[in-house]
Chains A and B, each alone.
Chain A
Amino acid sequence: MLHVEDLNIEFHDHIIPETVVYDFDLDIESGEIVGLVGESGSGKSMSALAIAGLLNRHDARKKGSIVFEGIDILNCPREILRSVQGDKISMIFQEPMTSLNPVKKIGWQVEEALRIHTDMNKEERKQKALEMLKEVELDDPERIYRSYPHQLSGGMRQRVMIAAAMINSPKLLIADEPTTALDVTVQAQIVSLLKRINKEKGTAILFISHDLSLVRQLCKRVIVMKSGYIVDSGETEEIFSNPKHEYTKNLISSIPQVKLD
Chain B
Amino acid sequence: MNLRIKKNANSIMGIVLTAIVVIPAIIGIFWTPYDPETINGSLKLAGASWAHPFGCDNFGRDILSRIMLGSSTTFLIGMGTVIGGAVVGTLVGALTGFYGGVIDEVLMRFNDVMLSFPSLLLALTFVAIFGPGKYRVMWALAIAFVPSFARIIRAEFKRVKNMDYVKAARLSGASDFRIMYVHILPNTVKVLINAVLIGFNNAVLAEAGLSFLGIGVQPPDASLGRMLSDSQTYLFTKPSYAIIPGMAIIVMVLGVSMIGKEVE
Contact = CB atoms under 8 A, between A and B. Distances in A.
B170 A113 contact: no
A103 B187 contact: yes
Contact of A101 (B169, B171, B175): B169
Contacts of A95: 164
Given A101-B187, A102-B187, A103-B186, A116 B164 contact: no
A161 interface: yes
A112 B97 CA distance: 23
Nearest to A97: B164
A49 B59 CA distance: 73
Contacts, number: 70
Given A58-B101, A164-B168, A103 B1 contact: yes
Contact of A112 (B2, B167, B169, B186): B169
Contacts of A103: 1-2, 186-187, 189
Nearest to A108: B182
Nearest to A174: B171
B172 A101 contact: no
Contacts of A90: 171-172
A63 interface: no
Interface residues of A, number: 32
A82 B186 contact: no
Interface string B160-185: 00011101111111110010000100
Question: On chain B, which size bracket covers the interface?
Answer: 20 to 34
Interface string A44-66: 00000100101000100000000
Given A116-B174, A164-B172, A54 B167 contact: yes
A100 interface: yes
Interface in A47-98: 49, 52, 54, 58, 82-87, 89-91, 93-95, 98
Contact of A99 (B168, B172, B178): B168
A120 to B, nearest CB: 14
Contacts of B173: 82-87, 113, 116-117
Interface string B186-206: 110100000000000000000
| 9 smallest beta-carbon distances between A and B, as pairs | A86-B172, A86-B173, A113-B172, A99-B164, A93-B164, A101-B165, A116-B173, A85-B173, A82-B173
B163 A116 contact: no
Contact of B171 (A85, A109, A148): A85
Contacts of A98: 163-165
Contact of A93 (B167, B170, B174): B167
Interface string B50-85: 000000000000000000000000000000000000
A112 B173 CA distance: 9
Interface in B145-163: 163
Contact of A86 (B163, B171, B183, B187): B171
Contacts of B178: 116
B167 A101 contact: no
B172 A52 contact: no
A86 to B, nearest CB: 4
A85 B164 contact: no
Contacts of A49: 167
A165 B164 CA distance: 13
Contacts of A116: 172-174, 178
Contacts of A199: none
A82 B167 contact: no
Contacts of B170: 54, 85
Contacts of B165: 98-102, 109
B168 A161 contact: yes
A103 B186 CA distance: 7
A104 interface: yes
Contact of A91 (B163, B171, B175): B171
A149 to B, nearest CB: 9
Which of A89, A93, A117, A148 has the most C-beta atoms of chain B within 10 angstroms of its own C-beta? Answer: A93
Contacts of A112: 169, 172, 174
Contacts of A102: 165, 187
A174 to B, nearest CB: 9
Contacts of B1: 103
Contacts of A58: 101
A57 B174 CA distance: 17
A90 B174 CA distance: 13
